[in-house]
């Protein structure tokens, strides 16, 4: 499930000129398919992924 989500998201992002790093995509996919909120200090690394819930606890 996670791999499929990441493949679709990566394809979508590449078509608009963005190339996410594989580790970031894998982390995002795990969070998304498991219904989790991704907590990160690097919100900009994940901002382009659709329907991914992000929180920054490290202001």
> pLDDT digit string (tens) for 27-42?
999 999 999 999 999 9
Alpha carbons within 13 A on the beta-carbon side of 26: 3
Q: Which residues contact 32 (CB under 8 A, 6 or more apart)?
A: 2, 5, 49, 51, 52
Burial label for 34, CB within 10 Å (0-12, 13-18, 19+), is exposed
Domains of the chain, CATH where assigned: 1-55 (3.40.50.1010)
Phi/psi of residue 40, nearest 5 degrees: -150, 155
Q: pTM of the predicted model, to two decimals? A: 0.89
Which secondary structure element, helix H or strand E, spans residue 26, and what is its range? helix 22-33
Q: Take residue 56 and report the two structure tokens written for it.
A: 């920054």
pLDDT in tens, 3-56: 999 999 999 999 999 999 999 999 999 999 999 999 999 999 999 999 999 999
> Which pLDDT does position 59 carry in this prediction?
77
């Amino acid at each position: 499930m996670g791999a499929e989500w990441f493949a679709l998201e990566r394809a979508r992002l590449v078509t608009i000129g963005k190339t996410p790093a594989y580790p970031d995509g894998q982390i995002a996919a795990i969070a998304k398919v498991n219904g989790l909120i991704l907590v990160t200090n690097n919100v900009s690394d994940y901002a382009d992924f659709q329907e991914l819930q992000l929180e920054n606890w490290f202001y």
